[in-house]
Amino acid sequence: MSDFDTNLPLGKPTSYAAAYDPGLLCPVPRRLKREEIGLYGGLPFHGFDLWNAFELSWLTPKGKPVVAIGEFRFPCESPNLVESKSFKLYLNSFNQTRCPDIGSVATLLKRDLGQAVGAPIDVRLLLPEDFGQLQISEWQGRCIDHQDLDFSRYALDPGLLEAAADEECVVEESLFSHLLKSNCLVTRQPDWGSLMIRYHGPKINEAALLRYLVSFRQHNEFHEQCVERVFVDLLRFCRPRQLTVYARYTRRGGLDINPFRSNFEDDIANTRLARQ
């Protein structure tokens, strides 16, 4: 186990707080995993971790429950990420807490989460009358999942991308796969996701790319770290001039995590896929 595992609530008996408690949040230093992939100084990407919280509730001053959906954006430049179970426990601590209004809840969330990750974050809360704004759609581009291939490697193997770029053919395209699976770094529970790669550069061999993504199947790492690893590996082996890597993971405990990394795009729409 790594040097931060002992501070996390994962795998331990859970006691749900009966009142608001920001001390439940567990930050995890990003540098620990970034150094594994050779990132010691400046980052080759920018972006954010986009979280959606579907189990968010508090009480009005008169004790009436309020429910909402929360959207949180954590900049990837922040020194820490938030461990997901601690985030869930923190949100649950609002359940029996009386708050003056939705604005006061948003203020607390922005302050506490910003302190945990070490950088300002964006918070957006939707009440039930606004839930209709949330849509489900499918990605535009080409799905690489329908290739009739043999697979045998289910442990992470970046070498599968060796010679995967065709230097004679420069393209601009979007590729995606719904076959991404990795495991939680601590509990080893499966994390299921879809991954989008948008790039401009030497054409990437789709068979090599799919085999590489499938090789995450027994890999243990947090969502954010997996996406950054894909970005760095593609940059190293395929040398795109422009690159975006974006994942939409299925939710657990009412939370989904959707890391976005790019060296040429600044934003992406928060639109759910069907599995979310």
**Which tens digits make up the pLDDT trace of 177-214?**
999 999 998 888 999 999 999 999 999 999 999 999 99
Residue 8 banded pLDDT, cuts 50, 70, 90: low
All structural domains of the chain, each given as residue ranges with its CATH number in brackets, are 5-133 (3.30.1130.10), 142-262 (3.30.1130.10)
> 72-76, 132-136, 151-155, 261-265: which range is least confident on average?
132-136
Please give the pLDDT value at position 17. Answer: 83
Q: How far apart are CA 89 and CA 69, in angstroms?
A: 16
| 3: amino acid identity, one letter | D
For residues 228 and 248, what is the distance between their CA atoms, to the nearest angstrom? Answer: 14
Polymer length of the chain: 276
127 — pLDDT class (breaks 50, 70, 90): very high
Asked whether the predicted pLDDT for residue 49 surpasses 50, the reply is yes
Residue type, 251: R
**For the chain, what is the largest distance between any 2 Cα atoms, rounded to a whole number of angstroms?**
68
Structure confidence by residue, pLDDT tens digits, 163-175: 999 999 999 999 9
* Catalytic site includes residue 184: yes
Catalytic residue among 26, 76, 184, 238: 184
pLDDT at 148: 98
pLDDT (0 to 100) of residue 18: 80
Average pLDDT over residues 246-274: 97
Q: Which residues contact 27 (CB under 8 A, 6 or more apart)?
A: 80, 81, 82, 83, 116, 117, 118
Specify the pLDDT at position 11.
55
> In the predicted model, is pLDDT for residue 3 greater than 50?
no
Q: Is the pLDDT of residue 7 over 80?
A: no
Please return the burial class of 180, using the count of CB atoms within 10 Å of its CB with bins 0-12, 13-18 and 19+: buried
Burial-class residue 229 by CB neighbours within 10 Å (0-12, 13-18, 19+): buried
Counting beta carbons within 10 angstroms of the beta carbon of residue 213, is it exposed (0 to 12), middle (13 to 18) or buried (19 or more)? buried
| CA-wise closest residue to 116 among 220, 28, 192 | 28
For all residues of the chain together, what is the average pLDDT? 94
Residue 151 token pair: 């697979």
Per-residue CA distances from 185 to 171, 222, 253 (Å): 35, 6, 17
**What is the average pLDDT across 156-162?**
98
Mind giving me the DSSP string for 52-64? EEEEEEEE-TTS-
Q: What is the pLDDT of residue 258?
A: 98
pLDDT of the residue at 13: 60
pLDDT of amino acid 6? 45
Q: What is the structure's pLDDT at 2? A: 46
pLDDT at 1: 38
Of 3-7, 24-28, 134-138, which range is least confident? 3-7
In this structure, are residues 83 and 8 in contact, taking their beta carbons and an 8 Å threshold? yes
Tokens 């027994």 belong to which residue?
A: 218
Q: Can 101 be counted among the known catalytic residues?
A: no
The C-alpha atoms of residue 154 and residue 133 are separated, in whole angstroms, by 38
Using CB atoms within 10 Å of the CB of residue 88, give its burial: 0 to 12 exposed, 13 to 18 middle, 19+ buried. buried
In the predicted model, what is the mean pLDDT of residues 49-68?
98
How does strand 165-183 pair with strand 142-143? parallel
Local confidence band at 103 (pLDDT 50, 70, 90 cut-offs): very high
Structure tokens at 186: 């601590």
pLDDT higher than threshold 80 for residue 5: no
Residue 122 confidence (pLDDT) above 90: yes
